Amino acid sequence: MMMNDTLALVLAWIAGGALGAIFFGGLWWTVRKSLASAKPALWVLASLLLRMGVTMTGFYWVSGGDWQRLLSCLLGFVMVRQLVTRLTRLPDENQTRPSQEASHAP
C-alpha cells in the first residue's frame, strides 16, 4: 500500500508541475499579447479568470480530498514557478551587482 501512496504523491507533484507550466506559460503569453493589444485590461482579466479556473480545478481534481496529494501538487506548482522565474530573467539580471556604499553618513 505504501508504494501506491508514493506513486500518488509523485503523480500529484508532476500534475502540479504541469498546472504550473500552464499557469505561468499562460501568464507569459498574456503579457506579450496585452502589450500589443488595444484592450490590454480585457486580455489580463480574461487570462486571469481562465488560468485561475484551470489551476483551481486541477488542484481540486488532483487532490481528491487528500491533503498530502494537494501539498505535493502545490510543491510541483511552486517549483515550476521558481524555474520559470529563473529562465525568464533578463541577461543583465543574472549577474550579481556590487553593492553601492552610502555616500554620506547617517
Q: How far is CA 25 from CA 14, 31, 97, in A?
A: 16, 10, 29
Question: How far is residue 73's CA from residue 89's CA, in Å, rounded to a whole number?
Answer: 25
Summarize pLDDT for 64-91 with one digit per residue, the tens.
999 999 999 999 999 999 998 888 887 7
Gyration radius of the chain over CA positions: 19
Predicted TM-score (pTM) of the model is: 0.78
Summarize pLDDT for 3-57 with one digit per residue, the tens.
789 999 999 999 999 999 999 999 999 999 999 999 999 999 999 999 999 999 9
C-alpha cell at 90: 533578463
Residues making up the chain, counted from first to last: 106
Domain ranges in the chain are 7-85
C-alpha cell at 72: 505535493
- Residue pair 64/71 in contact (Cβ under 8 Å)? The answer is no
